Chains A and B, each alone.
Chain A
Amino acid sequence: MIGGGVVRLAKDLIQYNEMLRALARREVASMYVGSFLGFFWTFIQPAVMILVFWFVFSVGFKAKPMNDVPFVVWLTAAMAPWFVFSAIVTSATTVILQYAHLIKKTVFPSQILVVVKILSNLVGHGAFVVLLIVLIFCNGMPFSVYYLQSLYYLFCLLVLASGIGWLISSVNVYARDVSQLVPVIVQVGFWATPIFWDLSIMPESIRFWLKLNPFCYIVQGYRDSFIYFVPFWQHGLETLYFWTVAFLFLLTGGWVFAKLKPQFADVL
């Protein structure tokens, strides 16, 4: 049964939660081990990126505010989810290979690895969101409880990323082409998603097609939560569509992973 893979994965996450957290902590720590600034790098990287955006677009190009919102704030609100999503997807692609020594030599639940990547990347996302809020504050924009709605969209993002992660991480074990292909798709995805541009500038006729990209929903959602304060239930149809796609990915990913997993140790 196709859904069985996902149910079992969910059970494993509970069973192995201690190992999961230990591995995620290790992932985060290994990014900074041996560096002097350590954890500060989590903030430095997005901060510099935002600074560059601000300088290039607001100072350099004199980009007009988007619907009365400073361009840099408007951009950062969309960059935040994209940044973590692309990080999860790219790192999940090779995660099975990265942990090959454990999969081959110990009894190891490889299905939790994608979640390890998700958890470890969430740290950077937290930093990004904190900077976004600082930026909003600096621009004198209002605070709102709608900020909390971003957690819902984050959840959407994680479900989508898990499905995709399980799918590509397991297929990549057999066809390493995936690890070459994924960065390309991520690159294209960045420009195909309304991050640097707004849906409203597109002609009505192609807007429908652009909304088929499930990540469009998440990016719009982050802006709704931090800038426009629009609740998600106002996008009923989009919500329904997103969850359909996300569940399709989750089911396919879980099924493919469960199907390929028994042979991992043979191939690695």
Chain B
Amino acid sequence: MSRNYADIAIAANRVTKSYRLYARNSDRIRETFHPFRKIYHRPFTALNDVSFSIRKGESVGIIGKNGSGKSTLLQILCGVLQPTSGHVQATGRISALLELGAGFNPEFTGRENVYLSATIMGLPKEYVDRNIEKIFAFADIGEYVDQPVKLYSSGMYVRLAFATAISVEPEILIVDEALAVGDIFFQQKCVAHMKEMQKKATIVFVTHDMHSVTNLCQRVILLDSGRIVFDGEPLDGVSQYTKLVHNEWQQENKATDEGGSCVADPAAPQLTVADHVDGWIAVSKEDRGGALEIKILKVRITDADNMIKDTVIKGDEVVVQLIVEASRQVDNLIVGYTVKDRIGNAIFGENTCSSLPDDFSVAGGTALISYRFVWPEVYPDTYTMTLGIGEGNDPFVHKIHCWAHNIVSIAALVPDKGVHGIFNNPITSCEVHSLHPR
């Protein structure tokens, strides 16, 4: 840890939060006042020995799967919850956006609610007097400011709540997934505001949106089951996170495969323990389509150094590896891929027949096929890849032997710029001609 404590905005030292699960609510009282401190609870650890320190002005994203302890950590950082052991030290005025509009009463007008929320956040009335027009302007709810909040659309409600919450000029801002409110324009305004705040304040925020993590944070803390498993560069953190999610998803799939009572597919590839470690994904019968004279057994996506790839940025080399089983010798082999977005639109794809002049062939039996492509600049999102193998020498007319549908997911990140559609199309030139000179 840094020796210079003046730099530190938040220091968490061995923070542990265990919840006490009681059989009955009244056991809690019994335990609190028990003369001999009899224990009535079963402990559940939500945070386990978490330590970190955040420097002033740093923006830190906290990511992790559901139930990994992110929100508990935020609540402890801002003092809503008390840690069971360890302590948190925060230097500076904290503003927490844990829930938008927590202090709003639907019967009162927007104006009245803004005043009360601000008071609860500890702002003096004069401060609100000076800033209320700014708040309304940011929320952009027009003449509704003097209408009861119950008449607001849900979008207006959260906009006003958000505008109120950020009107505090905190030294430390703690945000829990609050950015995902309103329409696209409001979201852009929020992100712009956050970037503005970053110049002055320390920001800690929890999100599931990997894009905003890489865009807004200088550092990522990844929690898993209440422990810090990663603390460092955002891109690395996101990649670790996708691995975590991916592993869990695979284990679940495996568990259902084993637990299911369906008839065993004799051709189903057996994954060994080593396969799991190496990132191989078994292709089940349901995921396959086509003539199936060649079957895709397992797939994996790696980078050029043979490391498993879960996240990509523009320009990354993506290596697709297939283990296939051919029932006969096949010449004129074609392999390809399609990348689809989360609602199933095919975004891009290609096959070897139309991109490469070479001919490929495979003998009967199993084979390892690998091919590579470079990730283009596409909208940051989680994509799935469909991988295929076929036979023929015409780009349009060929026999498809096997598709492995939506078999791998991969998170695309665009760390330093915006993508304005599915992909960016660069502007090639620009000129300015003065028409009516003054």
Are A265 and B29 neighbours in the complex by a CB distance under 8 Å? Answer: no
Please give, as numbers and ranges, the residues of chain A lying within 8 Å of B105 by CB-CB distance.
26, 30
B 57-83 contacts with A by CB, 8 A: 75, 78-82
Q: A18-B119, A105-B98, A106-B121 are in contact. Are A175 and B26 (CB under 8 A)?
A: yes
Are A265 and B116 neighbours in the complex by a CB distance under 8 Å? Answer: no
Are B102 and A106 neighbours in the complex by a CB distance under 8 Å? Answer: yes
Please give, as numbers and ranges, the residues of chain A lying within 8 Å of B20 by CB-CB distance.
266
Q: Is A243 in the interface zone, CB < 8 Å from B?
A: no
Nearest chain A residue, comparing its CB with the CB of B113: A26
Q: Is A63 in the interface zone, CB < 8 Å from B?
A: no
| Residue of B78, B108, B122 touching A29 (CB-CB under 8 A) | B108
Are A107 and B96 neighbours in the complex by a CB distance under 8 Å? Answer: yes
**Which of A39-47, A159-167, A256-264 is found at the contact surface with chain B?**
A256-264
Are A30 and B26 neighbours in the complex by a CB distance under 8 Å? Answer: no
Please measure, in the bound complex, the distance between the C-alpha atom of A183 and the C-alpha atom of B98, giving whole angstroms. Answer: 35
Please measure, in the bound complex, the distance between the C-alpha atom of A267 and the C-alpha atom of B21, giving whole angstroms. Answer: 10
Q: Is A140 in the interface zone, CB < 8 Å from B?
A: no
Q: Is B19 in the interface zone, CB < 8 Å from A?
A: yes
Q: A22-B116, A266-B19 are in contact. Are A175 and B25 (CB under 8 A)?
A: yes
| Residue of A18, A33, A102 touching B103 (CB-CB under 8 A) | A102
Closest chain-B Cβ to A238's Cβ sits at a distance in Å of 32
Q: Is B6 in the interface zone, CB < 8 Å from A?
A: no
Please measure, in the bound complex, the distance between the C-alpha atom of A104 and the C-alpha atom of B79, giving whole angstroms. Answer: 10
Q: Is B144 in the interface zone, CB < 8 Å from A?
A: no
Q: Is B186 in the interface zone, CB < 8 Å from A?
A: no
Closest chain-A Cβ to B86's Cβ sits at a distance in Å of 15
Q: Is B232 in the interface zone, CB < 8 Å from A?
A: no
Please give, as numbers and ranges, the residues of chain B lying within 8 Å of A22 by CB-CB distance.
115-116, 119-120
Chain A, residues 166-183, CB within 8 Å of chain B (1/0): the string is: 000001001110000000
| Residue of B28, B102, B119 touching A105 (CB-CB under 8 A) | B102
Q: Is B7 in the interface zone, CB < 8 Å from A?
A: no
Q: A174-B29, A265-B80 are in contact. Are A106 and B98 (CB under 8 A)?
A: yes
Please measure, in the bound complex, the distance between the C-alpha atom of A103 and the C-alpha atom of B75, giving whole angstroms. Answer: 11
Please measure, in the bound complex, the distance between the C-alpha atom of A174 and the C-alpha atom of B122, giving whole angstroms. Answer: 28
A 121-142 contacts with B by CB, 8 A: none
Please measure, in the bound complex, the distance between the C-alpha atom of A33 and the C-alpha atom of B148, giving whole angstroms. Answer: 10
Q: Is A101 in the interface zone, CB < 8 Å from B?
A: yes
Please measure, in the bound complex, the distance between the C-alpha atom of A107 and the C-alpha atom of B76, giving whole angstroms. Answer: 10
Please give, as numbers and ranges, the residues of chain B lying within 8 Å of A174 by CB-CB distance.
25-26, 28-29
Are A265 and B119 neighbours in the complex by a CB distance under 8 Å? Answer: no
| Residue of B25, B75, B79, B80 touching A267 (CB-CB under 8 A) | B25
Are B107 and A105 neighbours in the complex by a CB distance under 8 Å? Answer: no
Interface residues in B, total, Cβ within 8 A: 31
Are B28 and A19 neighbours in the complex by a CB distance under 8 Å? Answer: no
Nearest chain B residue, comparing its CB with the CB of A266: B19
Q: Is B187 in the interface zone, CB < 8 Å from A?
A: no
Q: Is B124 in the interface zone, CB < 8 Å from A?
A: yes
Closest chain-B Cβ to A80's Cβ sits at a distance in Å of 29
Nearest chain B residue, comparing its CB with the CB of A259: B32
Q: Is B173 in the interface zone, CB < 8 Å from A?
A: no
B 108-140 contacts with A by CB, 8 A: 108, 112, 115-116, 119-122, 124-125
Are A263 and B98 neighbours in the complex by a CB distance under 8 Å? Answer: no
Closest chain-B Cβ to A21's Cβ sits at a distance in Å of 9
Q: Is A108 in the interface zone, CB < 8 Å from B?
A: yes
Q: Is B319 in the interface zone, CB < 8 Å from A?
A: no
Q: Is B99 in the interface zone, CB < 8 Å from A?
A: yes
| Residue of B75, B99, B119 touching A19 (CB-CB under 8 A) | B119
Please measure, in the bound complex, the distance between the C-alpha atom of A267 and the C-alpha atom of B81, giving whole angstroms. Answer: 11
Nearest chain B residue, comparing its CB with the CB of A108: B120
Q: Is A34 in the interface zone, CB < 8 Å from B?
A: yes
Please give, as numbers and ranges, the residues of chain A lying within 8 Å of B75 by CB-CB distance.
265
Q: Is B294 in the interface zone, CB < 8 Å from A?
A: no
Are B103 and A106 neighbours in the complex by a CB distance under 8 Å? Answer: yes
Are B124 and A105 neighbours in the complex by a CB distance under 8 Å? Answer: no
Please measure, in the bound complex, the distance between the C-alpha atom of A34 and the C-alpha atom of B80, giving whole angstroms. Answer: 33
Q: Is B94 in the interface zone, CB < 8 Å from A?
A: yes
Are B116 and A107 neighbours in the complex by a CB distance under 8 Å? Answer: no
Chain B, residues 25-54, CB within 8 Å of chain A (1/0): the string is: 110110010000000000000000000000
Please give, as numbers and ranges, the residues of chain A lying within 8 Å of B82 by CB-CB distance.
262-263
Please measure, in the bound complex, the distance between the C-alpha atom of A18 and the C-alpha atom of B125, giving whole angstroms. Answer: 9
Nearest chain A residue, comparing its CB with the CB of B27: A174
Please measure, in the bound complex, the distance between the C-alpha atom of A192 and the C-alpha atom of B53, giving whole angstroms. Answer: 60
Closest chain-B Cβ to A231's Cβ sits at a distance in Å of 41
Nearest chain A residue, comparing its CB with the CB of B150: A34
Are A265 and B81 neighbours in the complex by a CB distance under 8 Å? Answer: yes
Are B108 and A175 neighbours in the complex by a CB distance under 8 Å? Answer: no
B 159-201 contacts with A by CB, 8 A: none
| Residue of B19, B78, B108, B121 touching A33 (CB-CB under 8 A) | B108
Chain A, residues 81-115, CB within 8 Å of chain B (1/0): the string is: 00000000000000000000111111110000000
Nearest chain B residue, comparing its CB with the CB of A107: B79
Chain A residues proximal to chain B, CB less than 8 Å: 18-19, 22-23, 26, 29-30, 33-34, 101-108, 171, 174-176, 259-260, 262-263, 265-267
Query: Can you add 17 more A-B contacts, CB < 8 Å, to A26-B116, A107-B78?
Result: A18-B119, A19-B119, A19-B120, A19-B122, A22-B116, A22-B120, A33-B107, A101-B99, A102-B102, A106-B98, A106-B102, A106-B121, A107-B79, A175-B29, A263-B32, A263-B82, A265-B75
Chain B residues proximal to chain A, CB less than 8 Å: 19-20, 25-26, 28-29, 32, 75, 78-82, 94, 96, 98-99, 102-103, 105, 107-108, 112, 115-116, 119-122, 124-125
What are 21 sample pairs from A and B whose C-beta atoms fall under 8 A apart? A18-B124, A19-B119, A19-B120, A22-B115, A23-B116, A23-B120, A29-B112, A34-B107, A102-B103, A103-B80, A106-B98, A106-B103, A107-B78, A171-B29, A174-B29, A260-B32, A263-B32, A265-B80, A265-B81, A266-B19, A266-B20
Top 7 A-B pairs, shortest CB-CB distance? A105-B99, A105-B102, A22-B119, A33-B107, A262-B82, A105-B98, A174-B29
